[in-house]
Amino acid sequence: MHKKYVIAGALILAGFQAGLAQAADEAAYKAACDAAEEARKMSAELKYEWNTVAPLIEKAGAAATAGDFGKAVSLCDEARLQSEAAVAQARQQADDWRSAVVK
């Protein structure tokens, strides 16, 4: 009798914790992918978006839907890094292009 309650309690607690963990993973995924999307938009505004970025974000969405938040986070991190590189490229080229002109 007593034992049953203990087991049930443990199961509820475990479930609760798993739920918390899932919520934490989901929040990390949201944060990573929001940041990626923001960086992508900035590169697009500069007309410098790389076409490798949207597929990464799309794959991250699919991973999250399948419950693999860890994979989703790393895909969005990669998308953000690439978009940041694209923004840096835009800024650098705004200065550098003149030196490439045929003279």
Task: Summarize as ranges the residues that interact with other proteins (CB under 8 A).
Answer: 44, 47-52, 54, 82, 89, 93-94, 96-98, 100-103
Minimum distance of other proteins from residue 97's CB (angstroms) = 4
Cβ partners under 8 Å of residue 46, min gap 6: 86, 87, 90
* Nearest residue (CB) to other proteins, 20 versus 41: 41
Q: Please give the Cα distance from 62 to 31 (Å, whole number).
A: 16
Minimum distance of other proteins from residue 35's CB (angstroms) = 19
Contact 102, 59 (CB under 8 A): no
Contact 64, 26 (CB under 8 A): yes
Minimum distance of other proteins from residue 62's CB (angstroms) = 20
* Nearest residue (CB) to other proteins, 5 versus 97: 97
